[in-house]
Each structure stands twice: as structure tokens, then as C-alpha cells.
Amino acid sequence: MYRWDAEEYRTSSSNQKKWALELLSKLDLKGSERVLDIGCGDGEVTAAIAQRVPRGSAVGIDSSRDMVDLAATRYPPERFPNITFFLKDAREIDFDEEFDAVFSNACLHWVVDHQSVLAGVKRCLKPNGRMLLQMGGKGNAATVLEAIAAVLRMPRWAGYFEGFDFPYAFYGPEEYRSWLAPIGFQVNRVELLPKDMVHEGAGAFAAWIRTTWLPYTQRVPESLREAFIREIVSTHARIRPPDGNGSIHFTMVRLEVEAEKGAA
């Protein structure tokens, strides 16, 4: 298991938050819905959802205690009465027909077994409920993965990665469609969207690696972690040099899924 540093995530997740808000604008909320946010992280996106449903409510779930604790501290019920957070794994969603919509940003590529997730989503939605999911998809972060693969081959680091399996599930539309139709979802849209991710300099890129590439960084002893991250950053600079302003760009590929449960 990987351990998220929630506070560090809060301060170095501007890319994820920006994409979350773009995604949220596609959910077209009317203001009285009850919405589930899967993989709510530090709660900021759940709070943005709650703001858009002043007569409804938002529930954030996450499998990281650190994240849920930070979310609950940032958005306490006394000041945010329409937000609740639960420690809950995406594969174990056990709510029963109580949500009008399910939303998820930048979480589900951490989960291999999406069929369990989708069964829980289906059960927790009211009839005609909607879901809007975005996650890392097929082809995601190719140059970052290329840089990491090169670093993992270096004698200094290779020993820490013996028996290491690729930790993410970057699925494509074919897989998703094949899971959605049999459980009765009406699929509105499943597509891969390439997106330019930008980090303003090596420090910001390193912070993103430090906070989100945990399956790799946490294989390395803590005393060597910063050197490992620097190695990835410098290797990436050789594969894809920074632009004239020193900003680092690469293509992320997001899988976006829009579907409806249909009438009861």
C-alpha cells in the first residue's frame, strides 16, 4: 500500500484541481442533487461540488485515511453542512440508490478492478442517475513512464524494483464499454482525451512526482528518495526538454466516461 501525504497533495495538485473543475462543469448540476465524489483526496473538489448543489449535498469517499482526515478538517460540518467524508474504498461502495450523480477525478487509474467499482456505482445511483468519471487512460504520461523506465534500469536503482509490477490501470474505451453495457448503463460518451500537463520548472515537476508517483518513490529508501526523484526529472529533461521558459510539458491521456443508470 502507498501512503499519501495529504498536505503535500493539497499544495502541489493545481493541475489535478484545474482538470477536476473543467470536468465538473460538464456535470451540469441544477443545485439540489446529492453527488458522490469517488477518490475525493483533500476534499477541495468535493467542496466545489457542494457549492454547486446548495439545496443538495456532496459525499466524498477515499481509501486514504490521511486524505479523508485532511478533507474533514478543511470542511467541517459546522461550516459546510452539505458535505460529508467517509473512509471507503472505491471497490466497496455500498450506498443504496441515494445519489443523483457520481463524479470522480484522477482516482480510478489507481484501481485495477473497475467492475467492482461500477457495480457499486450502479447500486448507489437513483434511477436515471448519472456518472461522470475521468482517470488516467491508455497512453497516459508516456514520456514520464519512459523516463522512469530508464531510471529503473540504472544500477543505482534497479535493485529496489525487483519483482515490481506496473501499478496503474490505464484503460481504454473498448474495455470500459465492455463493462458498462452488461450491467445496464446507458453509455453517452467514453473517450480518450490527450491533455498537456505543465509544470513551471523542475521543482514543481519534482513535487508532482513526489506526491503522486508513490508506487515508485516509496520503493526507494526515504534517505534516497529526493535523489531518485531528481534522477527522474533530469532523465525526463533529456527525453522532452523544458520549453524556453523552463516549463516542463508532457501529454497526459485521460479516459472520460459519461453514462446513465436508466429508469428503474
Ligand X SMILES: C[S@@+](CC[C@H](N)C(=O)[O-])C[C@H]1O[C@@H](n2cnc3c(N)ncnc32)[C@H](O)[C@@H]1O
Q: Torsion angle of alpha carbons 23, 28, 32, 35, nearest 10°?
A: -30
Residue closer to ligand X, measured from CB, 29 or 157: 29
131 binds ligand X per the rule CB under 6 A? no
Q: Is 83 exposed, middle or buried (0-12, 13-18, 19+ CB in 10 A)?
A: buried
Nearer to ligand X, 45 or 209 (CB): 45
233 binds ligand X per the rule CB under 6 A: no
Shortest CB 156 distance to ligand X, Å: 28
- Region binding ligand X by CB under 6 A among candidate stretches 86-94, 157-165, 179-187, 221-229: 86-94
Nearer to ligand X by Cβ, of 66 and 175: the residue is 66
| Interatomic CA distance for residues 23 and 25, integer angstroms | 5
Chain positions 164 to 223 lying near ligand X, rule: CB under 6 A, are: 212
Amino acid, single-letter form, for residue 28: D
- Contacts of 143 by beta carbon, 8 Å cutoff, 6+ apart: 236, 239, 240, 250, 251
Kindly state whether residue 63 participates in binding ligand X, applying the rule CB under 6 A: yes
Segment (H or E) for 263: none
Which residues are at the interface with ligand X (CB under 6 A)? Answer: 4, 13, 16-17, 20, 39-41, 45, 62-64, 67, 89-91, 105-107, 110-111, 212
